[in-house]
Amino acid sequence: MKKIILIISIVIGVFACVKNDERVKNITVDDLKLILKESKNIQLLDVRTPSETSKGIIFDAKQVNLVSNDFEEKAIDILDKEEPVYIYCRSGTRSKIAANVLVENGYDVYNVKGGYLEWTRKTKE
């Protein structure tokens, strides 16, 4: 029982520490749909795991697993700092972490609130 309480405390502590940098702009899935309608040539980054992305991605999003040891290096290698980055994960938590990493490296970042789950829900309506 003590181990479970400890694990829950750690998880809550980690999520409490993940504050969204004010330089990261949040957009909705509806916003992203409009942006993609205007231009399919945007930097869209999916930071989910390979097993998650194998079930589907949004358009031709670039994929860099946030939990990999070299996330920052891989993301910087494939992204253009001169263009905005639209970033999503499964539900919005990991993309906030990734967005903060990219902002610290000089990128203009838009976090898609609700992530892939919200995208699939909205595109089925």
- Cα(23)–Cα(108) distance, rounded to whole angstroms? 8
Burial (Cβ within 10 Å: 0-12, 13-18, ≥19) of residue 12: exposed
Task: Identify the active-site residue in 29, 44, 89, 112.
Answer: 89
Residue 17 falls in the annotated catalytic set = no
Which whole-number Å values give the CA distances from 46 to 8, 11, 82, in the listed order? Answer: 27, 23, 19
> Widest CA span of the chain, in angstroms?
53
Give catalytic residue positions: 89
